Structure 1
Amino acid sequence: MKNRKLFSLVFVSFFVGATSALSVAAGASTSEGSNAEASPVFGVTLPPGYRDWGFVSVAHEAGNNNDIRAILGNDVAMKALREGTLPFPEGSIIVRLAYAYVPSERNNAIFGREQSFVAGTPTNVQVEVKDSKRYASTGGWGYGQFENGKANPSVKIINSCFACHTKLPAASDLIFTTYSK
């Protein structure tokens, strides 16, 4: 009986995982322009498996956003970052996961003062894709912003990405984050 329950649990877990993977794959294979999950202007989508990518860095954005961010890169971007290769090669993708920046009541109770901050609720995911031909007018980078797994339809938000990135020194290849070794 125990083996049957274990088998059932493994099968259900596999089925749920396979179904999720198929859903992601189906969304990723949709042709340009027909994907309702693609960002406006650039057509960028959430890359499959991005949460398993290499760690680039973390950042705290104060001011209006007051969030904490984890920055990840695909294999192409990670290789370039490790080797110090700029500009980034074609196919580089950088993903920024943003969360509300909140004090940890549990940790602070243990420490006896407010000193511990953690990631709270997720706010958005931003994606940058390097394709110099497709995104020639924006320095070779295409942008997307996603909330709850869906592309933010605001063209204003997406266009503001490039406007801020152009303020960076040319040597940065329009990327804010530096690699944390």
Structure 2
Amino acid sequence: MKRKYLVVLSAAMASVALTAAAVALGDAGSGDASPIYGVKLPDGYRQWQLIAPAQEAAPLDELRAVLGNDLAIKAYQESTLPFPDGTVLVKLAWKHVQSPEFEPASIPGAATTVQVMVKDSRKYASTGGWGFGRFINGKSVDEAQHQTCFACHQARVQNHDFVFTRFAQ
């Protein structure tokens, strides 16, 4: 009986902790969501696996890292296209800064944006199955910027399920 009580208590405490974390990160309905798509910053995304680094040239001049949830990583590893529903990709971006210690090297400067793509072929059928979110300091940017997301992906990477990033093996 005591063991059963401890198991139930542990499960309840874990549930409360997860709910608190979700609320703090805006995943329990109280957070900022992107206009048009309703995409939010996913819980724990900064601990996800790296898919690939990238560098954006002028005018943005950014260093970027694309991370993926477990479904994204599996799809990349198995060369699965289209990506399965539930795939989430997150792009972190920072200003590109020259290293003060070693001139040929670059280091991340100030954070610029976090961009999110969520695959849900029913919910986002009109945009190739993808919903988009772009956040600055944890807040979603305006609708006008979100209106350009799908058009850019459609024009350039329609043949790769609307995803620019390739897996860095």
- TM-score range with shorter-chain normalisation? 0.7 to 0.9
Q: TM-score, normalised by structure 2?
A: 0.85
Alignment check: 8 A CA contact 1:86 1:171 kept? no
Distance in 2, matches of 1:150 and 1:24, equals 17
Residues of 2 paired with 1:28 and 1:159: CA distance?
23
One of 52, 58, 73 as aligned partner of 1:57: 52
Partner of 1:76: 71
Summarize the Cα distance change of 1:20–1:151 in structure 2 as closer, same or farther, 3 Å threshold.
Answer: farther
Q: Residue 101 of structure 2: SS of its match in structure 1?
A: helix
Contact 2:48-2:69 at 8 Å conserved across structures: yes
Task: Answer yes or no: is 1:170 the counterpart of 2:158.
Answer: yes
Cα RMSD after superposing both structures: 1.6
What amino acid is the match of 1:165?
Answer: H
Once residues 170 and 130 of structure 1 are traced to their aligned partners in structure 2, the CA distance between those partners, rounded to angstroms, is 14
CA contact (8 A) 1:59 1:68 kept: yes
Does residue 1:134 correspond to 2:131, yes or no? Answer: no
- Residue number among 139, 143, 146 corresponding to 1:158 in the alignment: 146
Shift of 1:24: 3.4
Q: CA deviation at 1:65?
A: 0.8
Q: 1:100 to 1:21 in 2, by over 3 A?
A: farther
Deviates more, 1:158-167 or 1:93-102: 158-167
Alignment of 1:20-39 (within 5 A): 22-26=19-23, 27-30=26-29, 35-39=30-34
Counterpart Cα distance in 2 of 1:106 and 1:83: 40
Cα distance in 2 for residues equivalent to 1:36 and 1:91: 20
Shift of 1:171: 2.5
Moved beyond 4 Å, runs of 4+ = 19-23
Identity of aligned residues (%): 44
Name stretches of at least 5 consecutive residues in structure 2 with no aligned partner.
1-15
Other-structure match for 1:101: 96
Rounded to whole Å, the distance in 1 between the matches of 2:135 and 2:21 is 15
**Structure 1: 5+ residue runs without aligned partners?**
1-18, 109-114
- Residues 59-115 of structure 1 show CA distances to partners (whole Å, capped at 9, x for unaligned) of 11112111010000000111000000000000000000000001011222xxxxxx1
TM-score (norm 1): 0.79
Deviation at 1:20, TM superposition (A): 8.9
Structure 2 equivalent of residue 125 of structure 1: 114
Match of residue 85, structure 2, among 83, 86, 90: 90
Aligned to 1:111: none
Aligned-partner Cα distance in 2 for 1:49–1:134: 23
1:119–1:130 distance in 2 versus 1, CA, 3 Å: same
User: What does residue 3 of structure 2 align with?
Assistant: none
Alignment: residue pair count: 152
